[in-house]
Structure 1
Amino acid sequence: MCVQYLTTVNTDWVKTHFDLDLPASPAHDVFPTYPGAIVLKSHNIGRTATGLARFGLLPSWAKEETFGRKTYNARAETVAEKPSYKNAWTKRHYALALADAFYEPCYESGKAVRTAIKQANNEPMAIASIWDTWTEPETGELIVSFSMLTIEANNHPVMNRMHKPEDEKRTVVPLRPVLFNAWLNATPEEAQALLQLESIPELVIA
């Protein structure tokens, strides 16, 4: 599961692929509850936009923003059923988290080694995510948050090397650029079909 990533600072790449401006982020390293840059599609108004969102999805019924420390990753197999994610999934709140790299622990040396993973071509990644809105009870502030989707990764040549040998192998889903629009405009059935290893570009250990 991804608990840390580097939000991209590559404004030209974002402009080229989405024709949108990358928002300035206060931090490059993103952990749960930190802000990171995303591209999202709002089907209510038919608009695609970039913005900063909290890493760790906050459903509307969450009592406090620390809830996001438990919801930064959503399993593709259960995202349509889990109360924390069901609303975002069924309302087609699909997003792309913009990252230069993400980190996972590798235990091949016998101990946990923090390992950066990036695209083989050194370009940024757009990671399949879901988003939702939450109202801060005391201030009334409307906060956008997101969760990255994860899938089984036993057959991925890089991601099957991460985590303890006995642990389940999983990966977030950076999408190939040709799939960006398909993800943002997907129905739930189409989105589920995109969550597979074949959708991921070549990854390498940085």
Structure 2
Amino acid sequence: MCSNYRPIGNKELSFFDAPPIDDVIPKGDAYPGSAAPLVYRPANNGPRAAVLGTFGLLPVWAKEQSFAKRTYNARSETVAEKPSFRNAWQKRQLCIVPATAIYEPCYETGKAVWWRIQRADGLPMALAGLWERKNWDDDQPGWSFTMLTVNADDHPVMRRFHKPGDEKRMTVILDGRQVEDWLAAATEAQMREILRPCDPALLTASSGRLSD
């Protein structure tokens, strides 16, 4: 799971073949309810686009934007059944969440110490996500997103995090061709084929957060 990460900036969106966002991307780390960029492919199969969305999926029936604090991660095993996520899943509203690093708590010292996980090659990370869009009282469309997670009990890097005894979970980190395969997935089978732990060699982990 991931409740805290560092989004990329506008300049880095070109790495994912997406144009800059007109809105200002907030600096620093993102938490549930924060605004951060997502990259998606429009329904007409046009070029990739990027928008600013709320971290935490807001289904069309959500009454308050604070609901995002409950929907920032979606378990891949149950995403098709959960009311909060099934509409986005069934409609294949797929996105990537671009990140510089994700943060997870490590308890190996006996207490929680926040670690940052990044790509070993220093490139931006692409996290598999779902998006929603709804109108609020001011009739303005609002984008939101969630990150998909999978079991990480056997992952050499990600199993080090979270409380002892808890199930180990990790976000789905896409690499190479997987980014396009995820955005272009046309069936549930194609989507599920991608939802698996990444190669451990792709990642590096160290204690501490990124400086602003």
> TM-score, normalised on structure 1?
0.93
Q: Which runs of 5+ in 2 are unaligned?
A: 207-212
| Partner Cα distance (2:4, 2:99) in 1 | 10
The one-letter amino acid paired with 1:85 is F
Shift of 1:141: 1.4
RMSD: 1.6
Q: Is the 8 A contact 1:176 1:199 kept in 2?
A: no
| Partner Cα distance (2:141, 2:18) in 1 | 25
C-alpha deviations, 1:35-89, integer Å up to 9, x for none? 111101232x323211111100000000111110000000000001111000001
| Partner Cα distance (1:22, 1:110) in 2 | 42
Shift of 1:33: 1.0
Is 1:14–2:33 an aligned residue pair? Answer: no
Q: Is the 8 A contact 1:97 1:128 kept in 2?
A: yes
Query: 1:33 maps to what in 2?
Result: 33
Q: Which runs of 5+ in 1 are unaligned?
A: none
Query: 1:132 maps to what in 2?
Result: 132
Aligned pair count reads: 203
Shift of 1:201: 6.2
Quick one: percent identity of the two aligned structures?
Answer: 41
Describe the SS at the equivalent of 1:61.
coil
Query: 1:197 maps to what in 2?
Result: 197
| Partner Cα distance (1:167, 1:118) in 2 | 23
Describe the SS at the equivalent of 1:69.
helix
Describe the SS at the equivalent of 2:174.
coil
Q: Is the 8 A contact 2:74 2:147 kept in 1?
A: yes
C-alpha deviations, 1:113-137, integer Å up to 9, x for none? 011110111111010000011221x
Describe the SS at the equivalent of 2:114.
strand
Query: 1:65 maps to what in 2?
Result: 65
Q: Is the 8 A contact 1:74 1:148 kept in 2?
A: yes
Query: 1:185 maps to what in 2?
Result: 184
Query: 1:171 maps to what in 2?
Result: 170
Shift of 1:16: 3.8
| Partner Cα distance (1:94, 1:79) in 2 | 13
Q: Runs of at least 4 residues of structure 1 off by over 6 A?
A: none
Describe the SS at the equivalent of 1:25.
coil
Q: Is the 8 A contact 1:173 1:200 kept in 2?
A: no
The one-letter amino acid paired with 1:15 is S
Distance 1:109 1:78, change over 3 A: same
Q: Is the 8 A contact 1:8 1:28 kept in 2?
A: no
C-alpha deviations, 1:81-118, integer Å up to 9, x for none? 11100000110100000100010100000000011110
Distance 1:61 1:94, change over 3 A: same
Q: Choose 196-205 or 89-98, whichever is displaced more.
A: 196-205
| Partner Cα distance (2:53, 2:99) in 1 | 13
> TM-score, normalised on structure 2?
0.90
Q: Is the 8 A contact 1:39 1:96 kept in 2?
A: yes
| Partner Cα distance (2:108, 2:134) in 1 | 40
Q: Is the 8 A contact 1:22 1:51 kept in 2?
A: yes
Q: Is the 8 A contact 1:7 1:100 kept in 2?
A: yes
Describe the SS at the equivalent of 2:41.
strand
Distance 1:16 1:114, change over 3 A: closer
